Amino acid sequence: MEAIPDAEYTSYTILDVSNYIDQAICVSHTSKENTVLRSGISPEKVFMVPNAVDTAMFTPSPKRLNCDEIVIVVVSRLVYRKGADLLVEVIPEVCRLFPKVHFIVGGDGPKRVRLEEMREKFSLQDRVEMLGAVPHAQVRSVLISGHIFLNSSLTEAFCIAILEAASCGLLTVSTRVGGVPEVLPDDMIVLAEPAPGDMVRAVKKAIDMLPGIDPQIMHLRMKELYSWDDVAKRTEIVYDRAMESPTTNLLDRLPRYLTCGSWAGKLFCLVMIINYLLWRLLEFLQPAVGIEEVPDIGPLHAHLGSRNDEAQEK
């Protein structure tokens, strides 16, 4: 049995080992299509299970923000892939067109110096606040300071940051890349091409939409759309299917690992042999150390209620 999670940056590794994958999980339909095309895995073996958001942690501000001054929030690693170079061009233009707009930028990375230089060049010190690295526990406090969340990523399989922002009641402006268009309903996000001009247009559209945005209603919608309980249930279904796949003994599996490359194949074989020996050792030691066996209660999804099924029955 082999089951693998989606990994945007390991697609070429998947290409090498696809001949012994039983099931795969991707976080978006776009990611699933890419995985199937680049790895040769049968589409029937690839499942789409999205990420989710902790809506209990990411809640809107109890007090609705005044729209006399618009605050646009960016929380991201300041690297090329996250579109930091786009921000360098978009922020000055937005500030020029909309005098009442301010930016809060949370995050750190090699591109931070470019944003600092931009702020100095256009004298935007009083309109662009640079927070530096923001611990995840403090992300909500940053998000609820703003009206709009700006995501400038150049590639994304899903983008959990968008979910967190929407759960806090922020309208999102994002580049139309990867699986991002699948994440939120159209009335909760404004999509743009990863180009400065189109990003500025999207920000303008979002500002016009703000009077109709209710953060509390947006939060409740996110609570219904994305749940980690639902993700866990769907993930276990995939693992149950993988467990039902025909079992292949170690001697039959080792030749397949060797096909992964002259060096990688030998390394994979060594790792699998060590894992196998460790597993056998733990099985041998288990009674001696008094570890109680966990009773088999069947698949988890058999015990969890499905809100989708309940909704259909209603």
C-alpha span between 224 and 236 (Å, rounded): 20
Residue 27's pLDDT is what?
Answer: 94
Give me the tens of pLDDT residue by residue for the chain, a chain 314 residues long: 444 444 444 444 444 455 567 789 999 999 999 888 887 788 988 999 999 999 999 999 998 888 889 999 999 999 999 999 999 999 999 999 999 999 999 999 999 999 999 999 999 999 999 999 999 999 999 999 999 999 999 999 999 999 999 999 999 999 999 999 999 999 999 999 999 999 999 999 999 999 999 999 999 999 999 989 999 999 999 998 888 877 767 777 778 777 777 888 889 889 889 988 998 898 888 764 444 444 444 444 444 444 445 444 54
Residue 20's pLDDT is what?
Answer: 63
Decide: residue 153, CB within 10 A, 0-12 exposed, 13-18 middle, 19+ buried.
buried
Q: How many CB atoms lie within 10 A of CB 129?
A: 17
- Taking each helix axis from N to C end, the angle separating 196-209 and 84-97, rounded to the nearest 10 degrees, works out to 50
pTM exceeding 0.85: no
Residue 106's pLDDT is what?
Answer: 97
Domain boundaries, the chain: 1-50+227-245, 70-226, 246-290
The number of helix segments (H) and strand segments (E) in the chain equals 12, 9
Answer whether 138's CB lies under 8 Å from 117's CB: no
Residue 71 DSSP code: E
Residue 32 gets the label, from left (phi > 0), alpha (psi -120 to 50) or beta, of alpha
Which residues lie across from 106 on neighbouring strands? 75, 132
Which residues lie across from 46 on neighbouring strands? 24
C-alpha span between 71 and 66 (Å, rounded): 10
DSSP readout, 14-55?
HHHHGGG--EEEESSHHHHHHHHHHH---GGGEEE------T
β-pairing, 46-48 vs 128-132, is: unpaired
3-state secondary structure 78-141: CCHHHCHHHHHHHHHHHHHHCCCEEEEEECCCCCHHHHHHHHHHCCCCCCEEEEECCCHHHHHH
Instruction: Return the structure tokens found at 158.
Output: 């899903």
Indicate the SS3 state at residue 6: coil
Q: Which CATH superfamily is domain 70-226 in?
A: Glycogen Phosphorylase B; (3.40.50.2000)
With a CB cutoff of 8 Å and minimum separation 6, the contacts of 179 are 27, 28, 29, 30, 31, 156, 157, 158, 159
C-alpha span between 102 and 71 (Å, rounded): 5
